[in-house]
Structure 1
Amino acid sequence: MALDGIVISNIVNELNCSLVGGRLYKIAQPEADELLLTIKNNGTQYRLTISANAGLPLIYLTDVNKTSPITAPNFCMLLRKHVNNGRIIRISQPGLERVIDFELEHLNEMGDLCKKHLIVELMGKHSNIIFCDDKNMIIDSIKHVSSQMSSVREVLPGREYFIPQTTDKANPLEVDYETFAELVYSKPIPLVKAIYTSITGISPIVSEELCYDASIDSTTPANVLSENEQKHLYTIFKGIMETVSSKQYIPNIVYKGNEPIEFGSLELSIYQDTDSKESKKAGGLLTCVKYSTISEVLHTFYATKNAISRIRQRSVDLRKILNTALERNYKKYDLQLKQLKDTDKRDKFKVYGELINTYGYGIESGSKSFEALNYYTNEMITIPLDNMLTPKENAVKYFDKYNKLKRTFEADTKLVAETSSEINHLESISTSLDIALAEEDLVQLKEELIEYGYIRRKGPTGKKGLLGKKGYVGKKVKITSKPFHYISSDGFHMYVGKNNFQNDELTFKFANGGDWWFHSKTIPGSHVIVKTGGNELTDKTYEEAASLAAHYSKGRDQEKVEIDYTERKNLKKPNAAKPGFVIYNTNFSMVADTDISGLNIIHD
């Protein structure tokens, strides 16, 4: 979601509370299109990041400092010359535009009090940071825009600054019903588009939220709404604008699992309804997490997005290897099942042979078939015969077919079990790859793929490099990934394995016999261990541990998942079984929610 006018107004309100009255202590330009301002106010030091990056324009308060070039760029030097140690006297947003105006007060070279404006425009590829005097004349900007680059407005020193009015949009804080109706309801386009193309600062997602709150299909043409629908929609719109005017913001991020997919300064009900269009588009169960500040929202959203993007890029090769192996095994499994099904008629041939031996004395020479009573079912059946063979030879022929199919059945049954086991193992690794949050998590997954022959270990081929297993070479890397650690509402420690090796470690080395084990039923997932400390688990802890097992499973995109749970002492690991595989005969089951947003994770 781009920064819309409502999010900008939330940022302006936050900056006014923190920065107005403060002094510009340091001005740095760590990137070509980014400023980092350090402001001291009321005994507190703040850092403000302002980015005019065309792909990701941002502004938020941060604790993170960035290294700046040794030689400051010209724009940075200009700001230091004019406003370093200047005071911020006002931060404003014109209308609900994606523009923030910092009004600065400073002393010039003669000691006279002067005012300047640092104007931040957060408009996608047109984003800019512009420095102006108190007469709206541009002194300089972080990006120069000439007439060859834009026919709408030049952004060059000496030019007058103004906000370009490229479309006929109304200020949502001032628009009345008549103007709203004239701009929105007259257009023969989908209602959602008619709203955000007619009103300043309204993003497509806020427009969708308006339609949802008004119970109107957003794809309905705006010019076909009834009078009641028009009035009702405007009432909803005014309610949202009153929320913005009264600064009752609700900074929040909408998550799909651990991945943030949307953020806003208003509560987005459209994502909390599992039947809504936006929820279905997201393709899974969504949770909304509220934050205390919009700066925290922006920092968390983009930092998490970047981390997930980085992990996905680094996991591309692993996922490709997994998908190739899975596809190959799926095809092999289907072929083996088909071959196994073809052996279903083996018992029929055995019965044919037995019946021919039993009633063979009555078969005439040269017969192509004969009828006999099947003493297994007490029914008459017709048995095909080869008229070139004697009855005894026909019986031998059927027994040969039976024995061949019997051998095929036994071999295929074993192969199907082996292939099914391999598919389950690969799917469990795929599930682990889905929940990997850091690069160290990928290292252990790669080790598992190496150990089971899907990847060849790179390294020297000398004796010291040999693993002595399956011919892999090179030395094992150091594993630093640790299981997830949660605390239940009633204080019990809960641990979740991130991969099969961690699952084995948790279940068979870390857990005691009286601890409880949770796992998704019939589908791949993580082992969840709850340490009891000799105490009885509470009902709430059972539910929370089951939710962890549901969330960290292949069914995490579902609303509910069936979970098996039992005491650790009831688990066994068969000899030569793959990591993460256990068997048990005593267990309980429950259906658990996959939402774990309320659980407290511990960062060890």
Structure 2
Amino acid sequence: MKETMSGLDIKTCIDELKTDILDSWVGKIYGINESFLIKLNTSNKNIQGLIVEPGRRIHLTFMDHPTPKQPPAYAMFLRKYLSNSKLVEINQPDLERVVEIKFEKENEYFLISELFGKGNLILCDEQREIIHPYESKVWKDREIKPGQVYSLPPKKGKNIAEISERELKELIIDAPDLVRGLARNLSIGGQIAEEICARAGLNKKTEPQKMTRKDYKRLFSTIESFLNKENSPQIIYENDTPIDVLPFSFETMRNKEAQRFKTFNRALDNYFQKVSEKEVKNVKEEKTEKKLKEFKSRLERQEKNIQKLKEKARKTKQKADLISKSHEKIDKILDKLNKIRKTEGWEKIRDELGKSKPSRENWAKLIKKIQPNQGKVELILQDFPVELDIRISSFKNASKYYEKNKQFKSKLEGAKEAKKKTKDQIQEIKEKGVKISTPRTPKKKRKKKWFERYRWFYSSQGLLVIAGRDAKTNQEIVEKHMEPNDIYFHADLEGAPHLIVKSEGERISEKTEEEAAIFAAIHSKGWRKGLGNLDVYSVKPNQVSKEAPAGEYLPKGGYIIKGEKNYQTVPLEAAVGLIEIEGNKIPMCGPPSAVQAHSKNIIKLKPGSTKKSNLASEIKSSLDKDFEGEINIDELMQILPPGPGMISS
């Protein structure tokens, strides 16, 4: 089954996109599982948007995709730059598995989608300097991280669309066979290489050194016609399962069932939707089979247990009946045993039992063995061993066996009910399967974001707010991260952290300013002191200075504020929730309104007497219900306000 798009697929797709979506306007951007959906306002009302899945696909979608209420952080980041922008250009550099989309807003931006390997999505400015990638990566020959100029990966072969006949021969002449020479040196992949061989009528295993000039001419002519072939988009099926999506008919797929489409984008949209459904179905079938195996194994154990209980019930009933039928004889034996035990001791009884049965006295003929320490004797009644307590009468012994029989019967009914329930569950699983969530990429230990070095949160407006943890990070906040359009905050208490709101080119709302002030307050000594409210001031970055007045000394991380301060009084209240950042759910602590904007469920906090470590444990227990896996308690400890607190309603 085809999992990713080839360079030829991308070329065909891009050719259509240039007709369909150039000059369209960008609406909202959503994160859907591992994909991003860019909503587009176009003249074609059927188009729902552009689907981009790093490492896998890019195409228009005509389906109505359910979108999450709270988009992941990278989708929100893209919204900030690209919403309301105009899509003006879309290209595929050099037939690589890379797509560059150019947008115009106040500035120009490039969104670059890498569709090879694990893939990536990278937003660049007009100079192609990376603003932020979906995932930062570093290789020996290039780096994908903020501030770097984007560069394409090193070429692994020539552009098939630009080679000459002579270059073709030079490229593949030393290959072990024709198909590998084409696939590797033209970077077209095995499938297209095999198709070109088939169209040229050349055996794919032919050694290039043994090919004639006529063979090379035919091969080159085939490549030219192959690249210029008229589109005939189709999905290829095998046993009703989609296995490939093609821009036109392939000779190698001639005998397969095909479903045709008007455009290649529609074919891609349908194919990857079917592939996703198939993947979900396979996962469901696999989990259903596993669950069925578990329940069938349980059913086998239950059936064995039922047989054991039936046998135990039968034996206890048989013993009770035998005792009842022979009660007179048994009472005489028990009386005799007790008299001898009291007058002559157990040794006398053992001596008698040491004799052969015919030579024993009558009272000892039915005895098989005795257990003095337990006060038990085992008789053989009608060739069936029955254990008795010599301290009680035959009637009481029979009653004990009848009581055991009732207990086993009761357990038997319970076991039968459990078996019936298991059979019903097996039937339900066979009919409905097991419920599963949409499959996700296995989570690796996540790489922490740069801002997690500091105290941080995202405001309800979606802007990053960072504050220092100590003198060193306070200094970094001001001298490394503060920019002219940011806003600086500080609680009116000695030792409070320096805090900035990163504007990222946006106007900072009053709500964000209020949230930043609350954040500055909760991370000051005011929290530990249990204050209800605190004054916090804000200033512009150019008012923050390291120049101390004459004769005074500023400690490390200390600054002088020049000019007027904007004060506001804010409550000391916080909340914790889970925010999704680039596919990872991360605990975030901040003002309740900000956390509420990014998290489905939140836990509100206020200053209190609960030790910070105990408070973190309580929060973890609550958040784990919304988390696939375990939340790191150390992460919680790092984001909580300093000192004790309590969970509030």
TM range (shorter): 0.3 to 0.5
Give the TM-score normalised by the residue count of structure 2. Answer: 0.43
